[in-house]
Amino acid sequence: MKCFLPLLFLPLLGAATGSARQDSSSVRLLTLRINGQAVATDTISSRFFLSDTRTLRLNIIRRDDPDGEGLTILIDRFPIQAGTYSFQEILSGRNRDASYRFGNTAAYSKSCPDNPGSVTITAVNGEKHWLAGSYRCTVCESGRGGKRFTMEGTFRYPVEKE
């Protein structure tokens, strides 16, 4: 009986090592830092969407709040190409906005008198439907004395049709 026990586990070992060999284009990489502090992200609940009107929406969800809203960044009229899309261009007619919700905290880029921010796309793969790059934005709690949050991170993430 003892000699057959290791043989029973061999198929399980093969399955475990086989699943580790994933196509590198399917790997989801997503980081989030709030005021410099790393916050774990939920790569199952987080989503990047591109609508028919070419609005790109990054929805980055915290791991400790998978049902929450997390950080949402909108880029209207996204040209689907590498480049930097700055939040300072909100007044140009293009909507570039960020909002953050966690528990009782609600903060928006438009609540800040100065709302610097950008999304930098470093790679676009139309065939595999993913983007790579980084983001940085400032959001402020609305109301008097609201806190200011600087949120930043990197991504290599699939984009879904909305």
Q: How do residues 54-77 score in pLDDT, each as one tens digit?
A: 999 999 999 999 999 999 999 888
Question: Does the structure show a pLDDT above 60 at 18?
Answer: no
User: In the structure encoding, which two tokens stand for residue 40, read together?
Assistant: 């774990």
56, with CB counted inside 10 A (0-12, 13-18, 19+), is buried
Mean pLDDT score of the chain = 82
**Which tens digit of pLDDT belongs to each residue from 99-145?**
999 988 999 988 888 888 899 999 999 888 999 999 999 999 987 77
Closest-CA residue to 110 (of 152, 70, 73)? 73
60, with CB counted inside 10 A (0-12, 13-18, 19+), is buried
Percent of the chain with pLDDT over 90: 54
**Pairing state of beta strands 148-161 and 47-50?**
parallel
**Where exactly are the structural domains of the chain?**
24-161
Percent of the chain with pLDDT over 70: 78
Q: Give CA–CA dist 69/85, Å, rounded.
A: 22
Q: pTM of whole model > 0.85? A: no
In terms of DSSP H, where are the helices of 24-79? Answer: none
